[in-house]
Amino acid sequence: MTAKILDGNAFSAKVREGLAVRAAALKAAGVTPCLAVILVGDDAASAVYVRNKVAACEKAGMRSLKFVYPSDIEPAVVFAKIAELNADPGVHGILVQLPLPKRFDSDAVLEAISPEKDVDGFHAENVGALVQGNPRFIPCTPYGVMEMLKSEGVKLAGAEAVIVGRSNIVGKPMAMLLLAESCTVTVCHSRTADLAFHTRRADILIAAVGRAKMITGDMIKPGAAVIDVGINRQADGKLCGDVDFESAKEVAGLITPVPGGVGPMTITMLLANTLESAERVAAERQPEKAHK
């Protein structure tokens, strides 16, 4: 048996088509969805991510604003810009690209963003809402993973789901989303004893730990859905995931490749969150118009 390979690029393009239609409808109603991105420093990977996010916005018919600061900028300048964007009714989403220079308190920066514009879903208020099962914004990568699983008709209720990785960005919110779908969830990490024991039980296995090819085919339950969130650069410069794709695809029922799997969905769901934020603003305007 060879696994079905889930093409993230193709699925992402399909989702973005739907987002573009919704964005056009909003613009016709007088609201243009707008994402503001702040980049501090000269990290090459971050610059690429920001460029891709801005391009994706424009292609989907959304407005994008980009603010780039040198790595030696005073944090007060960035906080002032965030405050300005929080107060701007024409901005529906604010994203500060991580990582920030070491002089910055990243948590303080993320908390400075209005929860109503925190389209990354990292603000403590939004994390709390997710845990309570009533999310305002779902963190983009886990959001994308859930959309991919649902699109393939993967059985969620009652499934054994194992997540390798406990980060605030992927592992923890992923666990909350799977629990909300009635999965039985196990979160593994660097100190998990006998990792393979847990991964072999998984109907749904999500690797998000940042270690190249650490999940091999003999660690996977036959027929499992394997979602590889990891992105690692090998000695030859090529990218690979946390899953050893070649051995895993011979055992899994469904698998995402790296690159071209989960990655494209992360930016797509960022657009979705920004659009949802703009739609909330438009809905709030309707009573005002009716009153007039």
- 129, 52, 56, 116: which is closest to 89 by C-alpha? 116
173-232 pLDDT per residue, tens: 999 999 999 999 999 998 999 999 999 999 999 999 999 999 999 999 999 999 999 999
Catalytic residue, candidates 53, 117, 172, 221: 53
From the CA atom positions of the chain, what is the Rg in Å? 20
In the block, residue with structure tokens 């992927």: 170
User: Is 4 a catalytic site residue?
Assistant: no
- Catalytic pick among 81, 117, 118, 120: 120
- Given a cut of 60, whether residue 291 has pLDDT beyond it is no
pTM of the model: 0.94
State the maximum Cα–Cα separation within the chain, in Å, rounded to a whole number: 66
pLDDT reading at 292 higher than 90: no
Res. 285 pLDDT band, cuts 50 70 90: confident
Q: pLDDT digit string (tens) for 147-165?
A: 999 999 999 999 999 999 9
Q: For residue range 35-92, what is the model confidence (pLDDT) as tens digits?
A: 999 999 988 889 998 999 999 999 999 999 999 999 999 999 999 999 999 999 999 9
| Inter-residue contact 123 to 110 (CB < 8 Å) | yes
The domains located in the chain, with CATH, are: 30-114 (3.40.50.10860), 140-263 (3.40.50.720)
Cα–Cα distance, 103 to 263 (Å, whole number): 29
Find the catalytic residue in 97, 118, 203, 228: 97
Q: What is the mean pLDDT of the chain?
A: 95
pLDDT at 289 over 80: no
Check if 66 is active-site.
no
- Asked if 97 is an active-site residue, the reply is yes
232-233 vs 239-240, strand pairing mode: antiparallel
Q: Supply the pLDDT for residue 280.
A: 94
